[in-house]
Structure 1
Amino acid sequence: MKRREFITLIAGAAALPLEARAQRAGQRYRVATLGPLLPSFFDELGRAGFVRGSNLEIDGRGERVAAVSYTSVAVELTEASPNVLMAVGAEAGRAAQKATQRIPIVVIADDLLGSKLVASMPHPEGNTTGVSIFAFQLDAKRLELLHEALPGARRIAALADRLPIPNLSALESAAKRFGVEIVPFAAQSEEDLVRVIDAMKAEEVDAVNLLASPILASKFQYLIRDRLALRRLPAILQWPEQAEEGGLMGYGPRLSAVFDQCARQVARLLRGAKVIDVPVEQPTKLELVVNLKTAKMLGVEIPPMLLSRADRTIE
């Protein structure tokens, strides 16, 4: 290579953004995961140039562990020195933070600021950023939509993954405006879910508000759907996709879109961005999906006004 060509090549490389130069260095990257992920997360990373099995290795030992094991598994994951640690839920995020102050962490959580996982959303300090889905506020909105769909319901179950429910006072305040009573339930296992959904029917609950939870929204979602159908309990769910898969109603951001946001943040960090320069994001769109096939099976007639506001109806 001639001297002039070499100088031109070096100058061109120096003109590239630091993040882009880091990705083109030919190195392999490692992302560790703590909590359940969607395949779309890896698809989005691939579109960003980080391809699983090529230049990207995924340490998925933490994807299917129970929440009680997050602390110990987070330590194991960080000991392998991944480039980024992806955590799903506030509990997973806190476990990751305890395990490392050095490795960048991306977290999906109800409220990263309110959970004190970050000190600032525009410029997160420390080693943590992610996506805040503000699920606690959406839980109250789901209660409103459920009341609109079933104005005759007077006892509405709030199904969470633990008691006391963190945002119960906000739910009860909203319920008071609608003239309904909130009946709290919690479950973290298959046995718990079968028991509490059966108990809802025994306690003459009219409908169910499935509260935000990475536990309930992942491995148990089909069990919840099927058990609610068996007990003929209408419910509103956290994600629009859950209504498309057989639930009555779903309201919130698309889970796949939230994971796409996280994947883009992970890609920026892999390219060399500093955590402080990767702001905490929020969902960009909320959707209401109503499944009329499920409504017919449950004997529920959804008011036309609510249907007119739905982003999608399943017929």
Structure 2
Amino acid sequence: MLKGHGGNIYQAAREAGVSPEDLVDLSGNINPLGPPEELFAYLKDRLSLITRLPEPDLTSLRQAVARRLEISPDMVFPAPGTTDWIYLLPAILRAEEVIIFGPTYADYADAATIWGKKAFYLLPDSPRNWPNLNLPPKGGPRVYFLCNPNNPTGGLLSRDKVLDLAQRLTGDILVIDESYLPFAASDEASLAWGGLPGNVLVLRSFSKIYAIPGLRLGCLLAPESLFPLVAPHLRPWWVGTLAAEAGVFLLNQRGFEEQTRNYLKAERERIYQRLKGLPGLEFFTSVTTFILCRLKAPRASELCRRLLKRGFLLRPCGNFVGLDDHYFRFSLKDPETNNRFLQVLTQELVDMA
């Protein structure tokens, strides 16, 4: 596993000598609005369900996902987070090589390495030009990983372009991680909407958009042609009762996702205007809840250390393949917290100039 994932507030708090509650975590990529308020009462009323096993095949959850995307429940394979599927896919898809559209989430390459597969990155000349779609010559069986929208660059490849990419990859398998798509667009933008091309798998996460990373819930969406490879790995009782209950409830909160998108669109534009005036800083526009930045002179790791001392946890991005120690990422919070962060960031950049 990559050392230095975002969201490790416990380690950061130990390093800073404070409690996790004393830090503002801008390193993770979850919804700044938090979970829908109604979720807490809903789960409280169902706490007694922990005394019984969940549905073995998670029928209710699969049906809820299927209704949202207008697909068959047979295409839905829930898991305790998308990470479980990410680490299984290089093995069960029988690929000789894993090709990754970087710079991006490191677990795709880590998963390939664990199973003894060769992992290669397709990198653009700049994060602003992600993704590099200049594909290598045809070879043995390959699995391609595309994070869309992409972490950490925040870019989005349109549905039409992803479909075109899938057609170009005939004979290979394209895995699309749509964990951040609900921040950018409605369900109709998913490649899984209404069905999937025969060589495409889609990952969907509940952790990010609904701000419930501690519950661990995600799913893999697969076309019928790939059922023989995927279906045997759907384990009984794989998702806990409360996580499954939360998933069904949250999928009915359509207004919450639209509210999130409206907030992020307005807040990102406001933040961009503030970032434009900061010395020695370049930022990359995003469709998600996080923004990637590049420092021209000082190292991002040093800036992140200074910000941590002042109570803000950022994500240095020097360990992303294709980036270096001049890059860092931060996620948006409420306007008041964002203003406090920008004030501290400005002070530190001036002091480091």
TM-score range, shorter chain: 0.3 to 0.5
Larger-gyration structure (1/2): 1
Q: TM-score, normalised by structure 2?
A: 0.32
> Higher relative contact order at CA 8 Å, sep ≥6: structure 1 or structure 2?
2
Q: TM-score, normalised by structure 1?
A: 0.34
